[in-house]
Amino acid sequence: MAWIFDHSWYEQLRIDPNSLDAEGVPQHVSVVRTVDDAHVCAVHSSEFPQAHLVGFNQELAAFLGAPSLSSRPHTHKPIQVPEQLVDWLTGKTWMDGRPPLSMVYAGHQFGQWAGQLGDGRAMHIGALIAKDNKSYALQLKGAGPTPFSRRGDGFAVLRSSIREYVASEALYHLGIPTTRALALVETGHLVSRDRYYSGMIEQEPGAIVCRVSPGFIRFGHFEWFASQGADDLLRSLADFCVARYFPECTQEEQPYLSLFKTVAERTLDLVAQWQGIGFVHGVMNTDNMSLLSETLDYGPYGFMDQYNPNWTPNTSDRPQGRYRQGQQGQVAIWNLMQLANGLYPLVGKAEGFQDILAWAQDVWPQKESDVFVRKLGLPLGADQDRALVRSLLVWMERAQVDFTDFFRKLSGIDRPEELVEDHWSTSVLDQWMAWWRDYMDRASYWGVSDQQRQQLMKSVNPRFVPRNHHLERVIHAATQGDWHLFHDLMRVLADPMSSELEDPYGWAHPKPKDAPDTALSCSS
Ligand code: AMP
Ligand code: MG
């Protein structure tokens, strides 16, 4: 098996002619600029003579068609890496002779129109036809400045690159749509960051994540071309996406509206799945929303410790908490409205979009609670079960139980006493016992035996998620050059529902109640 390249990104999107010289070689970026009249710019990555691979996803590389590579599952130690791939990942050579591309997009950030953003530190280095016969784009994040870097330097720090690598693979193994991570490279050069926006600038090791997706297309792409009145570029991008990712929509009378309906439905499904595992994205700006409804752009995300719908992992979003846990569904719908504005020029009528947005409002509460009904091991569908979910969540917040730990334990008990914690008040305890009785009533109403319930629950309630305090340990060790915690965490995250896996480092353990929350900001 050999690599099979897909050049359609070069052939079907408009490359900014100003980004290429007369020989078709990308100009070196000297100025940050507004790019109009194009979908993408050809760019150079920076040179990293000291670059070395620290994480490598052998299973994914084999899936992408890496020659003579066994698909040994879940190996992230860079042992068996095709040399050619390392050269691509460090920018030493181009994939099949084509230069990297950075894309132009805009977006709403924290509710405000931000104008042109674009790939300020990301570049598409090529696309490969994988074993499923589909095309996957490879993107480097942190490989140096592009015309879209604005005030940024185009680089990424090791800590945020580790966080992206780990969480994207964790979500993948939890069965949640996400971009994936192919490789993690330490660039060997230092990056200056004000980590907590406190005025204290530190030098941190730089890194590159190579991430993989059928396409890194954001809501903000459509917002950009629509805002510019660039209808031709808007239409050609939409047609490119429909043909590649939503071919079923071409059969419909209104393909763009049908595209919007599909994206709306899948986006709500994605966010409902986030709710089910306590994942809080942290920066749900429209430029971080994938048209393919994948989890995209991992920054100050978090897996919730104690259940708290007001929790936001991103200190840059406190105290307002726009992107707090309990708000993610509403934010998704608000973002879909921005996508509707982006697609509107192609349709010319607002009604169809409004109907779909109204439908999204209607259906969201049910989509969200159905994920929890499933977590409880019950069949989907009845109002009583959704009410059971609501009362459980209210109680969980009061009882201050750990979200992941609670559901996992609930998956393995047959008596309510087994879950009781010392610090519960009498009323918390009473409510728990009453809830359990209602729960058992619903299970017997559906004829679900306790054995069936537990078995089902253990397949949807993870034992392992990458909690922020665990990631801090991994990052701390890796920064000292010790990667064994990283590899061990990747080992358990590849099989997150397993009851059998040994856990010598305590990845399944919740954060101690008195330990502080990990402070995370947008600085990455
Ligand atoms: P984010 O908040 O990471 O999703 O990024 C929002 C925008 O800022 C995107 O256009 C990014 O490309 C850009 N950006 C973020 N960090 C950097 C950086 N270090 N250098 C250049 N651009 C950046
Ligand atoms: Mg982003």
For the segment 406-437, what is each residue's pLDDT rounded down to a tens digit?
A: 999 999 999 999 999 999 999 999 999 999 99
**Weakest mean pLDDT among 125-129, 445-449, 518-522:** 518-522
Confidence of residue 27 (pLDDT cuts 50, 70, 90): confident
Q: pTM for the whole thing?
A: 0.97
- Residue 439, pLDDT > 70, answer yes
Run of H or E including 183: strand 180-193
| Ligand 1, residues at Cβ distance < 6 Å | 117-121, 148-149, 152-155, 283, 287-288, 297, 299, 522
Minimal-distance CA residue to ligand 1 atom 13: 120
pLDDT at residue 29, rounded to an integer: 62
Angle between helix 219-227 and helix 328-347 axes, rounded to 10 deg: 40
What is the arithmetic mean of pLDDT over 194-209? Answer: 94
Give the rounded percent of residues in the chain with a pLDDT score beyond 90.
89
Per-residue pLDDT reduced to its tens digit, 495-506: 999 999 999 999
Run of H or E including 193: strand 180-193
- Residue 30, pLDDT > 70, answer no
Please choose from 41, 221, 287 the residue to mutate so as to test ligand 1's pocket, defined by most ligand atoms within 8 A of CB: 287
Q: How far apart are CA 8 and CA 124, in angstroms?
A: 12
- Residue 253, pLDDT > 60, answer yes
Minimal-distance CA residue to ligand 1 atom 11: 120
More confident residue, 23 or 509: 509
Give the residue numbers annotated as catalytic, written as ranges.
287
pLDDT at residue 31, rounded to an integer: 65
Check: CB of residue 161 under 8 Å from CB of residue 299. no
- Residue 336, pLDDT > 60, answer yes
- Residue 298, pLDDT > 80, answer yes
What is the arithmetic mean of pLDDT over 366-394? Answer: 95
Q: How far apart are CA 440 and CA 377, in angstroms?
A: 11
Ligand with smallest separation from the Cα of 296 = 2
Q: How far apart are CA 474 and CA 464, in angstroms?
A: 15
User: Which of 315, 334, 312 is CA-nearest to residue 323?
Assistant: 312
Residue 472 Cα distances to 114, 485, 491, angstroms: 31, 11, 17
Check: CB of residue 105 under 8 Å from CB of residue 291. no
The mean pLDDT value of the chain amounts to 95
What is the arithmetic mean of pLDDT over 366-379? Answer: 97
pLDDT at residue 110, rounded to an integer: 97
Run of H or E including 374: helix 351-375
User: Which of 161, 511, 110, 115 is CA-nearest to residue 282?
Assistant: 110
- Residue 153, pLDDT > 60, answer yes
pLDDT at residue 25, rounded to an integer: 85
